[in-house]
Amino acid sequence: MMSRKIKAFTLLWLITVSAIIPYTSSGQGYAGPDKNMMKDSSVVIGGSGCSNCCVKWTPTTGLNNPNILNPVASPAQTTTYTIKVVGPDFSFSDVDQMTVTVVDGLSDITATPKQCCWKKGDAISLDQFTITTNPPGLASSLTISPTTVPTNVFTQGVGTLPVTISGKGTNNTTKSTTVNITVVDEDAQTQVQVGLGQFDPAEILKVIDECINKVRGPCNPTGGLTANVSFSKGKLCCPKSGCVKEMYAYNGTYNYDKGVSCDQPFYGVPYIASLNLRISASFGLAISLGNVKTTCDGVDVCYGATFTGSIGGGVSGTILGGSILDASLQLVASVTADPLEYCMPSGKTKAGIGTDNGNICFKADLVGSVTTLSFFTEQVSVNVISQRCLY
Q: In the chain, where are the structural domains located?
A: 2-103, 108-184, 190-389
Pick the CATH number of 2-103 from 1.10.287.610, 3.40.50.720, 2.60.40.10, 1.10.260.30: 2.60.40.10
For residue 75, pLDDT over 70 is answered with yes
| Residue 143 · residue 167 · CB < 8 Å | yes
C-beta pairs of 83-86 under 8 Å, 24+ apart in sequence: 83/30, 83/31, 83/46, 83/55, 83/56, 83/57, 84/14, 84/18, 84/23, 84/55, 84/56, 84/58, 85/30, 85/50, 85/53, 85/54, 85/55, 86/14, 86/17, 86/21, 86/53, 86/54
Q: How confident is the model at residue 118 (pLDDT cuts 50, 70, 90)?
A: very high
Q: Are 387 and 351 in contact (CB under 8 A)?
A: no
HSE toward the beta carbon, residue 232, CA cutoff 13 A: 21
Burial class (CB in 10 A: 0-12, 13-18, 19+), 325: middle
d(CA 363, CA 148): 61
Task: Read off the pTM.
Answer: 0.58
Distances in Å between the alpha carbon of 47 and those of 26, 71, 112, 211, 332?
A: 13, 10, 29, 79, 85
pLDDT number for residue 146? 96
What is the pLDDT at residue 300?
60
Chain segment 228-249, per-residue pLDDT in tens: 666 777 888 888 877 888 887 7
The three-class DSSP label of residue 129 is: strand
**Fold held by 108-184:** Immunoglobulin-like (2.60.40)
Q: What is the DSSP letter of 299?
A: P
330 close to 338: Cβ distance less than 8 angstroms: no
Q: What is the rounded average pLDDT of the residues 34-63?
A: 91
Give the pLDDT band (50/70/90) at residue 216: very low
Same fold, 2-103 and 108-184: yes
Average predicted confidence (pLDDT) for the chain: 76
For 150-160, the pLDDT digits (tens) are 887 776 788 88
Compute CA distances 199 → 228, 318, 354, 370, whole Å.
12, 42, 13, 46
